[in-house]
Amino acid sequence: MQNETLQKLTDNVQIPRNGEIIDGKILAIENLAMYLDIGPRKTGIIYGAEYQNAKNVLKNIKIGDTISVKVVEPENEEGFVELSLREAEKELAWQTVKEKKDLNQEFAVRISKVNKGGLITEVAGIPAFLPTSQLSPDNYPRVPEGDKSKILRKLQSFIGQDVKVKILDFDEKAGQIILTEESKESETLQKAIKSLKVGDIVEGKVSGIVNFGAFIKFNLPDAGPEDSALEGLVHISELDWQLIEDPAQVVEVGQDVKAQVIDISQGRVSLSIKNLKKDPWQNLNYKTNDVVKGLVVRFNPFGAFIQLIDSNSKESDTKIQGLIHISEFGSEIKMKEKLELNKEYEFQILSFQPQRHWMSLRIK
């Protein structure tokens, strides 16, 4: 009878599965190994490379503590269940990230580093990035003429500061987390934003210029003089149909502008100025192999941008740019030997796709 009872208990014991996250109570730490009680008739072990990898965590725990571990091998040759503390921490951390994203949860992070693109921090021990473009309007580094060194100095003031954020996106395979800062607009302004819709046309003034675009302060069409102005961002790609390196080329602070609402999300309003202009690409009558005159306006590692001196366009001030790929020269050095900035040349069109706003060229 006793043997039958023991057999039933044995049959009911669940064998840990490979990859499963389980809890274990620390029994002993000796000879560069940790032994854990993980349930009836089973003892887990963390040893070898797994023990070395978890050293920083192990120094903060003691015998009797319960920790979460991941099953690496359900049963080794010595009868132990091989476990990983580091893998369990990593998996639980990504679970935390996913939950915060699914719940659209706001939480605080401390900024540890910065680069020219934004702020660097951690979420559940995983490196995370808060791009400059995802800062709230109050925290955008508004630097005259978008001076990159001044922007970097502004961003450095965030080091050691806590910022409330939400998870915009993440990629577990790539180990990347992208954050966004919630807008600090008042409840009244948030209600005003909700009254906007995509496609609305607004009028306002340029309130700030940064390297990635321009801010526009505007009132809703039916707003009274006592109502607070809303603020939206026109990304650099939405300022004009031509390629722009510096927003200050096309707008200036205090300028009156009209813009179209193209997106409203997370308390932010995204605007477009170019949507209210005629698309100059649709006025062109070029075809493959046509010869055109163009001005070299910019070099990149992948080629040179050429501004067409356009006799075919109906618009006299059209600034269409095509690309002559680096492969036409063989190297960046050879490209700069053949072309000079701000100099005119004749080019032949290799491909013209006005719907994609794309033209590829080669030097004639």
Residue 345 and residue 266 in one domain = no
- Check residue 336 and give its pLDDT: 92
Residue 270 and residue 285 in one domain = no
Of 257, 276, 295, the position where a domain reaches its end is 276
User: What is the number of structural domains in the chain?
Assistant: 4
With respect to residue 91, please indicate whether it lies within any of the assigned structural domains: no
Contacts of 128 (CB under 8 A, 6+ apart): 109, 120, 121, 122, 177, 178, 179
Q: Is the pLDDT of residue 224 over 80?
A: no
Residue 272 and residue 284 in one domain = no
Higher pLDDT, 281 or 1: 281
Higher pLDDT, 50 or 317: 50
Let me know how long the chain is: 364
List the single range of 4-8, 53-57, 347-351, 360-364 with lowest mean pLDDT: 4-8
Residue 53 and residue 129 in one domain = no
Residue 44 and residue 25 in one domain = yes
Contact assessment for residue 289 and residue 318, using Cβ atoms and an 8 Å cutoff: no
Contact assessment for residue 212 and residue 133, using Cβ atoms and an 8 Å cutoff: yes
Task: With cut-offs at 50, 70 and 90, classify the pLDDT of residue 223.
Answer: low
pLDDT digits (tens, 9 = 90+) for 195-213: 888 999 999 999 888 878 8
DSSP state of 354: G
Question: What is the pLDDT of the chain when averaged over all its residues?
Answer: 82
Residue 241 and residue 316 in one domain = no
CATH number, domain of 56, equals: 2.40.50.140
List the single range of 9-18, 80-89, 122-131, 266-275 with lowest mean pLDDT: 9-18
Helix ranges restricted to H, 39-107: 49-53, 55-58, 85-102
With respect to residue 28, please indicate whether it lies within any of the assigned structural domains: yes
With respect to residue 8, please indicate whether it lies within any of the assigned structural domains: no
With respect to residue 9, please indicate whether it lies within any of the assigned structural domains: no
Of 222, 251, 276, the position where a domain reaches its end is 276
Residue 252 and residue 218 in one domain = yes
Q: Which of 123, 114, 115 is nearest to 160 (CA)?
A: 114
Question: What percent of the chain has a predicted confidence (pLDDT) above 90?
Answer: 28
Residue 155 and residue 175 in one domain = yes
d(CA 185, CA 300): 39
pLDDT digits (tens, 9 = 90+) for 287-335: 889 999 999 988 988 899 998 886 554 444 457 889 999 999 989 899 9
Residue 204 and residue 284 in one domain = no
- Check residue 10 and give its pLDDT: 45
Q: In the block, which residue shows the tokens 């941008």?
A: 305
Mean pLDDT value across residues 228-243: 86
Three-class DSSP labels, 100-112: HHHCCCCEEEECC
- Check residue 3 and give its pLDDT: 47
With respect to residue 354, please indicate whether it lies within any of the assigned structural domains: yes
Amino acid letter, 124: A
Of 253, 276, 299, the position where a domain reaches its end is 276
With respect to residue 146, please indicate whether it lies within any of the assigned structural domains: yes
Identify the domain containing residue 30 by its residue range: 14-84
pLDDT digits (tens, 9 = 90+) for 257-290: 999 999 987 778 899 999 998 888 887 888 889 9
Amino acid letter, 51: Y
Task: With cut-offs at 50, 70 and 90, classify the pLDDT of residue 59.
Answer: confident
- Check residue 201 and give its pLDDT: 93
Measure the CA angle with vertex 316, ends 310 and 318; round to 5°: 60
With respect to residue 195, please indicate whether it lies within any of the assigned structural domains: yes
